[in-house]
Amino acid sequence: MELTLENYLAWMQDFAQKIADKKDYLSDLDSKIGDGDHGNNMARGLKAVSEALATKPADLTSALKVTAMALISKVGGAAGPLYGTAFLEMAKLSSKTVDLSELITAAAAGLQKRGGAQAGDKTMVDVWLPVRDNLKNSQLTSEKIEQAVNSTKQMEAKKGRASYLGERSVGHLDPGAVSSGYLFESMLQTGVIK
């Protein structure tokens, strides 16, 4: 499974579309345990990503870098530096390897370094870690992604805005986990994994 400029562009186009379609749903989820802006933040960010990628980047590394910079500068919430760092780590590694599993492993590590979240803290990390592990064994499926997303429902938030709610955060999906679920659904659907 290798990431190429072509499959990467298709992946991001599909992800941007999903985010645009689910913008209100993501913000609704965020209003239950956060500040209600995750959908708007992500839609603003992915619009910037689409615009930046509209002029075809020279190679995969610059495409990943352009994505990271757009997310970092346009999202406006925690998801900006988090997703941004993830893509930046992929950009850095992509000059050495384009193996998808290795890239996602580096991205997840960057995400954890930036936000300090561990498994079980009810954040997007709870989707990135199982995806990373399943990619390693070539066992990533749509069901596995859904399972990871749904697993955040019963968790008590330890990071991010939802952590201020303590146990009242239990019973709600984490919005960042849901948007990360879309990211990896897009990855499956656009043939990045064959």
Partner 1 sequence: MSYGILIVSHVPEIAAGVPKLLQQVATDVSITAAGGTDEQEIGTSLEKINQAIAANQADELLAFYDLGSARMNLEMAAEMTTKKIHLYDTALVESSYVAASLLQAGVALAAIEKQLEPLKIKGNN
Q: Residue holding tokens 């991010």? A: 160
- Least distance in angstroms from the C-beta of 82 to Mg ion: 12
Candidates 9-17, 91-99, 153-161, 178-186 — which segment interacts with partner 1 by CB under 8 A? Answer: 153-161
The verdict on 46 binding partner 1 (CB under 8 A) reads: no
Which of residues 84, 130, 176, 181 is near ligand ATP by CB under 6 A?
Answer: 176
The verdict on 23 binding ligand ATP (CB under 6 A) reads: no
Binding mask 127-146 for ligand ATP (x = CB under 6 A): --------------------
Instruction: Work out what residue 100 binds among partner 1, ligand ATP, Mg ion, none; the CB cut-off runs from 5 to 8 Å by kind.
Output: none
CA distances from 124 to 83, 86, 119, 167, 191 (A): 9, 11, 9, 18, 23
The verdict on 106 binding ligand ATP (CB under 6 A) reads: no
Report helix, strand or coil for 16.
helix
β-bridge mates for residue 2, sequence order:
99
Instruction: Work out what residue 174 binds among partner 1, Mg ion, ligand ATP, none; the CB cut-off runs from 5 to 8 Å by kind.
Output: ligand ATP
Which of residues 18, 44, 161, 172 is near ligand ATP by CB under 6 A?
Answer: 161
Q: Output the 3-class SS for 120-186.
A: CCCCCHHHHHHHHHHHHCCCCCHHHHHHHHHHCCCCCCCCCHHHHHHHHHCCCCCHHHHHHHHHHHH
Number of helices (H) and strands (E) in the chain: give both, helices first: 9, 0
Q: Both tokens of residue 119?
A: 């498994």
Select 37 or 126, whichever has its Cβ closest to partner 1: 37
